Amino acid sequence: MGGRIIKKIAEVLVYLVMLLCVIAFFTGHGTFIYEGF
């Protein structure tokens, strides 16, 4: 049970980080990402 909750929390965090990177790109705060374009 505990393992499943930790796995779910880890999954949510990973998707949250991915989403933040995408939002950073959309809002122009992710210039470090598209350096080179």
Interface positions with another protein (CB under 8 A): 15, 18-19, 21-22, 25-27, 30, 33-37
Question: Nearer Cβ to another protein, position 2 or 27?
Answer: 27
Minimal distance, residue 12 CB to another protein, in Å: 10
Q: What is the C-alpha to C-alpha distance for residues 11 and 30, in angstroms, rounded to an integer?
A: 23
Distances (CA, A) of 4 to 12, 29, 32: 12, 34, 35
> Is residue 27 within 8 Å of 19, Cβ to Cβ?
no
Minimal distance, residue 4 CB to another protein, in Å: 15
Minimal distance, residue 14 CB to another protein, in Å: 10
